[in-house]
Structure 1
């Protein structure tokens, strides 16, 4: 049987199709079902995979496969899916979530920095995962029962932050708000502003990094890298706000795409890894002295249209270790907040700057390869 022809009695025209959104980039296929089709059991997903009815970009897919933004997920039509559900053994009822302790409820409520009928915004601390996973049972998603307040349903995650990244995290309080915010993120009308401390000082003070990103082979999809042949397009605007001599700089980052670990990969690629990001910067990502070894990446501000009217425009305070580093290096927070967030997009600035940054990234990669060869010599 051809690998391009669906089984189960359905024609290709009848199959349901879904495009993977940017906010789902990098997640497992079974996690995608939990997010978007929670009534579809893992047993059914596995059955579709075994019978060839579950496809990603036209190829057979397995529940553990990781997704990339823009891929097409193809499922059997509703009537075939319903028949499969009836034929399969009924799954065990989902175990209810353990109730939150008083301490957990207090924790999540203390993180709330904005609340209205459609949205809640929290200031996520570093070290707290957005969602659960292997050996991770303390995360934002588990704590959401604590901020349901008077609503009928618990809030819904509409985007994510890495575990060690702090700052603004938006939650939708209704299905309508969830769809509205998801569209804003996927269409890039939501403006996200991050602050970071990086090692060294970029030669270009206001630049656009355009380097495609893909999964690094051998990492099991847990690490990304610049992949100019097969990577997905990725664009990051950065601006140097202040510098501490030649040792470090405080930069503003605005992602124009939403690839996994995009900001971390891009800054490391141009030779200026984010302080504390040993995963992508190695030993070069740490400063000497009393500077914290924690990640210095913070989602400072989010500006997005509100589902009803107006705009949700929220700023999150820095975590203690980031604020202390700012103090030690002599940086003034007011200078970062003074930068306009609605400037003309960087794509309208001279091409020369973009080319210079691409060459800078290549030079940085060559230097790192030279260092590795040097260390391997006896």
Structure 2
């Protein structure tokens, strides 16, 4: 039950720690998604909460949901204006050069019959910027903190693979795949006019600890 995963709750906002493997949008095959859990996240309201942004199926961590339409519009504006601060943690297959930096690589969508669709670096694509900082290196893998300034589809995953040369461990599209994708939305801060900001932190999942990385 996702009611046990609540990180923040008030009259207009809800932040949950989304489990890895749970898609935000309903898959075409009709399998379980966030929608199947929304009834249990009403907390006394008649209306289901609505996801304000997206996390990939295999990415865990902070997901913001609005509890009324007016709040939803304000939160969307905050995301679009770049006011929301997001922090991700990832284990990468490989070790990037340097200790930290800012990745500035525009992204575009490509599709082939063999591989399906994916995102890739494309000068004619949409601007995408991601700050990164190396936290730890162990056994040929690196533990990295990412702070994206934009919110493009698969942004961190593509930037890690194409620019840092070290894809996210377990990434089925840009890496070698595997049992678990080690990408986690660790914290989220959303400013609100006239109110305290929404601040949420999601604990590091067990799959990171099992891979040998802790904070």
TM-score, normalisation: structure 2: 0.92
1:263 pairs with 2:156? yes
- Alpha carbons 2:55, 2:63 under 8 Å: kept: yes
Is residue 300 from structure 1 mapped to residue 186 from structure 2 by the alignment?
A: yes
Change (3 A) 1:148 1:137: same
Distance in 2, Cα, partners of 1:281 & 1:140: 26
Residue number in structure 1 paired with 2:91: 197
- Within-5 A mapping of 1:200-215: 200-215=94-109
1:226 is aligned, of 104, 121, 142, to 121
Number of residue equivalences: 213
Q: Which secondary structure does the structure 2 equivalent of 1:311 belong to?
A: strand
2:14 corresponds to: 120
Check whether the contact 1:180–1:307 (CA below 8 A) recurs between aligned residues: no
Quick check: which one's helix share is greater?
1
For the 8 Å contact 2:208–2:214, the answer to whether it is kept is no
Cα offset, 1:152, TM superposition: 3.2
Residue 168 (structure 1) aligned with residue 67 (structure 2): no
Q: Contact 2:92/2:143 (CA < 8 Å) preserved in 1?
A: yes
Deviation at 1:261, TM superposition (A): 0.5
Pairwise CA distance, 1:231: 1.8
Equivalent residues in 2 for 1:1-378 (5 A)?
107-218=1-112, 222-228=117-123, 230-244=124-138, 247-270=140-163, 271-282=165-176, 293-306=179-192, 309-325=195-211, 328=212, 331-333=213-215
Structure-1-length-normalised TM-score: 0.54
RMSD: 1.8
C-alpha deviation, 1:139, in angstroms: 0.8
Shift of 1:307: 5.7
Q: How far apart are the structure 2 equivalents of 1:239 and 1:143?
A: 34
Whose Rg is larger? 1
* Greater relative contact order structure (CA < 8 Å, 6+ sep): 2
Q: What SS does the corresponding residue of 2:117 show, helix, strand or coil?
A: coil
Deviation at 1:217, TM superposition (A): 3.1
Name the structure where strand makes up a greater proportion of residues.
2
Where in structure 1 do 4 or more consecutive aligned residues deviate above 6 Å? none
Question: 3-state DSSP class of the match of 2:72?
Answer: helix
Q: Secondary structure at the match of 1:232?
A: coil
Cα displacement string for residues 270-293 of structure 1 (whole angstroms, at most 9, x for unaligned residues): 2110111131023xx67xxxxxx3
8 A Cα contact 1:177 1:307, kept in partner: no
Does structure 1 retain, via aligned residues, the 8 Å contact 2:27–2:33?
no
Kept in 2, the 8 Å contact 1:212–1:227? The answer is yes
Q: Give yes or no for contact 1:168–1:299 (8 Å, CA) kept in 2.
A: yes
- Residue 53 of structure 2 contacts residue 63 of structure 2 at CA under 8 Å; is this kept in 1? yes
Which shifted more, 109-118 or 304-313?
Answer: 304-313
Residues 215 and 221 in structure 1, CA contact (< 8 A), matched pair in contact too? no
Listed as ranges, the gaps of 5+ residues in structure 1 are 1-106, 287-292, 334-378
SS of the aligned residue for 2:112 comes to coil
Counterpart Cα distance in 1 of 2:116 and 2:151: 16
